[in-house]
Amino acid sequence: MLIYVVNGPNLNLLGTREPEVYGKTTLKDIENELKTLAENTGHEIRFFQSNHEGAIIDTLHEAGTINKADGVILNAGAFTHYSYAIRDAISSVPNVPVIEVHLSNIYARDEFRHKSVLSEVCKGVICGFGEKGYMMAFDFLTRRIKLMRNDSEIKIFSGSASREFTDKICKSLNISIGASKVITFSEGNVYVKVEEKVRGKDVYIVQTIGLNPNNEFMELLFWVDSFKRSGVNSVTAVIPYFSYAKADKKDEPRVSIRARVCADCLETAGIDRVVTMDLHSAQIQGFFRKPVDHLYAANIFCEYIKTMNYKDYVIVSPDEGFAKNARYYSNKLGVPLAIGNKQRLSHDEKAEIIGLIGSVANKTAIIVDDFTISCGTLIEIAKTLKNNGAKDIYAFVSHALLSEKGISSLNNSPINKLFVTDTIYNPVIMNCEKITVISVAEMFGKAINIIHEKDSLSELFE
């Protein structure tokens, strides 16, 4: 930490004037003591002697805007404790905690301490003789900064469904996965345990809801509960794929809006934030009262598409529902867009393409979609594209829930290559020559780091 020690007028007289009031230690003695303390605790300290009010104000602005000090110990001097200008200067740098020090023992009395207008904006007021006052202030300030920053330490834990993905995230951030344990008993009960101290921390639990959604979701609830009972400051649920996002509406009589039920369960368990990617229905963010950070694979896919040097190609949305997302690809890559007209008559995961909007003749077609289970929709739109004159066909899909049957269907389809992300650990796709996995773990790592630093995620969407 970088700590500024800002001293006001006349403090160079310490140790020589009224020792019964101000103590016998000189300002130089205090500086030496603080330097030793800072070195022993791994901090950096800088001293500023300000001989007038304006110099104190300039130093405070520098601490907040130029060198980004982590905290300030301020002894403004006898009269500047009543300076509204200094008070306003402290207010202008709210992210830098300031501790006010009074060396005179008379300021320990309430009638004097409460007269200081600086106490309105400082994080604490310390009264003490000589170096004792500064030492107390240094200790209080460093503890306060650690509390504000939560030690600036990102704590990321993995659920059983995302161990490999979490490992990639942590490697991108150069940190270790949090110690934890998951046991599934013979009758199916799940036991989770956090195996390190997390009290007061901001923790991130990574658990995709994918191939085994009910068990994975219940395990996530248990993780959130265990963290909350461990006294953490906050829990962010990082859900790379949120399976129940498909169930976003009541489109038939007597059915459940499952995405809303899941949102309610997560909030009841105690989540403070959700990070996810390519929700099937983006509007389910509104089911949560807590913040939801919605990431997209589109930029990563677009950069990959550029490297493939496709000639004369067109982006294809398999249906009207994904048309808006597909248009983003089309605009970003500067190529035409075609849209399939799909209908699904039942819940058997079989789709029928009954038409195509746009020209694909003699072009390379690139299908984009958010997830695939059986490859049914992708294969049907691929057949339609071939019938309409498309040359080569590629597909970019965010989440791959493919079974062995789906792999077999893909291998016998007109699709040349399927590109997916690693949001779901799916062993059956690993040996399929038609499938290439593109990792989005680094993007999630950046998002977690940005959230932890309380910055804006907008750079991930540019």
Class of the CATH domain delimited by 298-439: alpha beta
Contact 78, 68 (CB under 8 A): no
In terms of pLDDT, which residue wins out, 24 or 267?
A: 267
For range 330-351, the mean pLDDT: 77
How far out from the chain centre does Cα 263 lie?
Answer: 19
The conformation of residue 196, written as its DSSP 8-state character, comes to: S
Tens digits of residue pLDDT in 34-76 = 888 888 877 888 888 777 778 878 877 776 665 577 788 887 7
Q: Which two tokens stand for residue 200?
A: 């007061």
Ranges of CATH 3.40.50.2020 domains, the chain: 153-296+444-454, 298-439
CA 124 distance to own-chain centroid:
30
Hey, which CATH number is domain 153-296+444-454, 3.40.50.720, 3.40.50.2020, 3.20.20.220, 1.10.10.10?
A: 3.40.50.2020
Helix (H) or strand (E) holding 21: helix 19-22
Contacts of 248 (CB under 8 A, 6+ apart): 257, 259, 260, 280, 281, 283, 284, 287
* Higher-confidence position of 139 and 163: 163
Which of 123-127, 275-279, 326-330 has the weakest average pLDDT? 123-127
Catalytic residues: 342
For residue 307, the one-letter residue type is T
For the sheet with 98-102, list strands across it.
44-49, 2-7, 71-75, 98-102, 124-127
Strands 98-102 and 44-49: unpaired
Q: Residue 171 has which token pair? A: 């490697």
Where are the CATH 3.40.50.9100 domain residues in the chain? 2-151
User: Both tokens of residue 161?
Assistant: 């469904």
**How many Cβ atoms sit within 10 Å of the Cβ of residue 400?**
27
pLDDT of residue 13: 55
Higher pLDDT pick, 125 / 310: 310
Mean confidence (pLDDT) of the chain: 83
**Least confident window among 24-38, 301-315, 347-361:** 347-361
Q: How confident is the model at residue 21 (pLDDT cuts 50, 70, 90)?
A: very low
What is the C-alpha to C-alpha distance for residues 64 and 185, in angstroms, rounded to an integer? 54
**What does the pLDDT look like over 149-188, one tens digit per residue?**
555 578 999 999 999 999 999 998 888 999 999 999 999 8
User: Would you say residue 319 has pLDDT above 90?
Assistant: no
Would you state the pLDDT for residue 419?
97
Sheet holding 313-317, edge to edge: 352-357, 337-343, 313-317, 364-372, 393-400, 417-421, 435-438
- Predicted model pTM: 0.68
Q: Which residues, at least 6 apart from 108, have a Cβ–Cβ distance to it below 8 Å?
A: 102, 127
Q: How confident is the model at residue 112 (pLDDT cuts 50, 70, 90)?
A: very low
Higher pLDDT, residue 239 or 36: 239
Q: Give the span between the Cα atoms of 417 and 429, in whole angstroms.
A: 12
What is the model's pLDDT at position 110? 47
pLDDT of 229 > 90? The answer is yes
Angstrom distance (rounded) from CA 370 to CA 325 = 9
Range with the poorest average pLDDT among 122-126, 206-210, 313-317: 122-126
User: Structure tokens of 271?
Assistant: 């989540």
Give the E-state strand segments of 178-287 in sequence order: 180-184, 190-194, 202-206, 234-239, 273-277
Which is the CATH superfamily of the domain at 2-151?
Dehydroquinase, class II (3.40.50.9100)
Give Rg (Cα) of the chain. 30
Hey, which bits of 195-245 come out as E strands? 202-206, 234-239
